A and B are shown apart, each in its own frame.
Chain A
Amino acid sequence: MTFSAIPLISPPFLMGNNLNAWSEALAGLTISWFPLGLVIIAAIPLVFIALYALTYGVYGERKISAFMQDRLGPMEVGKWGILQTLADILKLLQKEDIVPTAADKFLFVIGPGILFVGSFLAFAVLPFGPAFIGADLNVGLFYAIGIVALEVVGILAAGWGSNNKWSLYGAVRSVAQIVSYEIPAAIALLCGAMMAGTLSMQQISVLQSGPYGFAHFFLFQSPIAWLPFLIYFIASLAETNRAPFDIPEAESELVAGYFTEYSGMKFAVIFLAEYGSMFMVSAIISIVFLGGWNSPLPNIGALALYDWTTGPVWGAFWIVSKGFFFIFVQMWLRWTLPRLRVDQLMYLCWKVLTPFAFVAFVLTAIWEIYVP
């Protein structure tokens, strides 16, 4: 079942308009015995994360925060400071790889690795356009929200391995937060899955395509869809440890939380993982509620805007720009809202978001059953 998306034949690498055409052609690419195509498929999200974290993630966040605080941000390296992150990367590469003497060497080293793999694994099921998806699992959505569990173990390994009180407290807070917010997030996504009737990410996207553009998105298909949408957005902020839920790395209390002791490339890997999961949750919310790679522009009479902006490349453009939009909102909130207290965080999760998620679940079920 799982490998049904990967055919045994190797069709020529053409500009196919069919579903999963590119990824299937790539999966069939084999040089003598070595399955090169499978390696390339896995490398595409990796390159994507690296590029976007480099350009949009770090530089964008610094610029956005600067503009919100009426500053200019990085301006020295290159025009408008666009080469600033490259300079930062060079600096991080040259730094000494420090492992504290008292740290648990093995867990300290393996922690960032597990963390990054955890945030990276979900990219396997994100459809980057109609023609490209890593693996069109029929449990894609369930996989995407379940695989975050690996990140939790990575955070614990990093926090424990550092052998530092701040790190351990940061790790414990972070894990408690992620595990708690998984519940409203999962129930909210379940509402989307109920509207679709499938868990396959590609099928969920296909079900939201139509000539009226955004009107086919699940967010606008049901009068209650805004509630799970909002709940998932809030919960996803907490799951990625972003403000106003960045208690695990509260600078005023915990220095930097679970990555206090990290420097150099290990620090960079942790940041890459954070930006990776930021895009992951943004892509998931876009796919489930905002049509994924579907164009939001409707056909208006002779102006066939939807038809003009649909296709494999346009699909990748739409999903990436929707993802970037949500990342922008995440950054915007980070520089606007103050941080919550730990008890407020748990109050919000268990006494506000979870009951409302259940309400949304029941209402969506009623709507799906009784309204044609």
Chain B
Amino acid sequence: MNNATYITIFYIFAAVTVFSAAFVVFSKNVIYSAFSLLFTFFGAAALFVFLSADFIAVTQVVVYVGGILVLLLFGVMFTNTIMQADLKTDVLHVVPGILLLAATVGGMLFTFYTTGSWKPSDVQLEGSVVERIGFETMSRYVLPFEMASILLLAALIGAAFLARFDKVRNNEQ
């Protein structure tokens, strides 16, 4: 694949990401915003692929599209009133907004240009990234990994406790 094709595909995905993200923000219909997030997540995953981070790209699709987006859609669909609610986007704080935007973009650009180590590394990635991720997770980062799993287990138990069938209250009724 030649360079022009590569760049064209990159810009297509970048445009998909940016425009769908803009649609998420500007759409007045919550359900359209939620569906538009699909394209944002997908575009972000594609951009990860361009950074040679294909494992993260697939994880992005699995976690964000398969988990978070579906949860979000369920939430929106089961909350009927959310469809009728008028989103209060009439009030626009133009000046503080622009200041905040300028500060954020300026700060990011400043960091980008001063830190300056954004060049591609001389050493090319060799072999499978998945193996490296596995080794690192099970050796250097084993403590954060285990802590995250304990946190998730606690969340799981909490969710099961909240959602379980309440025998006592059911008998009273």
Interface size counted on chain A using CB atoms at 8 A: 38
Using known A-B contacts A2-B49, A160-B77, determine if residue A199 contacts B1 with beta carbons closer than 8 Å.
no
A interface, by DSSP: helix, strand, loop or mixed? helix
Q: Which residues of A contact B129 (CB under 8 A)?
A: 1, 138-139
Residue pair A30, B2 in contact (C-beta under 8 Å): yes
CA distance A172 to B49 in the complex (A): 31
Query: With A and B bound together, what is the CA distance between A2 and B61 in angstroms?
Result: 16
Taken together as a complex, chains A and B put the C-alpha atoms of A142 and B66 apart, in Å, by 13
8 contacts between A and B (CB under 8 A): A33-B4, A33-B5, A139-B55, A149-B67, A150-B65, A152-B66, A153-B38, A175-B74
Other-chain contact of B62, A2, A27, A110, A146 (Cβ < 8 Å): A146
- Which B residue sits closest to A144, measured CB to CB? B58
Closest 8 CB pairs of A and B: A149-B66, A146-B62, A149-B65, A138-B128, A1-B52, A2-B54, A143-B58, A35-B5
**Is B130 at the interface (CB under 8 A from chain A)?**
yes
What is the minimal beta-carbon distance from A252 to any residue of chain B, in angstroms? 24
A123-154 residues at the B interface, CB under 8 angstroms:
137-139, 142-143, 146-150, 152-153
Contact of B62 with A149 in the complex, beta carbons under 8 Å:
yes
Contact A6 B58 (CB under 8 A): no
Question: Which of A30, A35, A149, A153 is the one whose CB lies under 8 Å from B35?
Answer: A153
Which residue from A35, A106, A199 sits with its C-beta under 8 Å from B130?
A199
List B residues 86-106 near A (Cβ within 8 Å): none
Say yes or no: is A370 at the interface (Cβ < 8 Å to chain B): no
Contacting pair B69 A138 (CB below 8 A):
no
Cβ-defined partner of A179 (8 Å) among B1, B38, B66: B66
State A152–B59 Cα separation when bound (angstroms). 16
Which residues of chain A are within 8 angstroms of B66 by Cβ–Cβ distance?
Answer: 146, 148-149, 152, 179, 182
B32 at the interface (CB under 8 A from A): yes
A180-B12 Cα distance, complex, nearest whole Å = 34
A residues less than 8 Å from B65 (CB atoms) = 149-150, 152-153
Q: A3, A8, A139 — which one has the most chain B CB atoms within 10 A of its CB?
A: A139
| A110–B52 alpha-carbon span in the complex (Å) | 30
Most chain B beta carbons < 10 A, residue from A1, A138, A147, A157? A1
When chains A and B are docked, how far (Å) is the Cα of A251 from the Cα of B28? 36
Is A38 part of the binding interface, using a Cβ–Cβ cutoff of 8 Å?
yes
CB neighbours (8 Å) of A146 from chain B are 58-59, 61-62, 66
The answer for the CA separation of A160 and B130 in the assembled complex, in Å, is 37
Rounded to whole angstroms, the CA-CA distance of A152 and B69 in the bound complex is 10
Q: When A8-B1, A147-B61 are in contact, do A114 and B38 touch as well, CB less than 8 Å?
A: yes
A172 and B74 contact, Cβ closer than 8 Å, known pairs A139-B130, A153-B38? yes
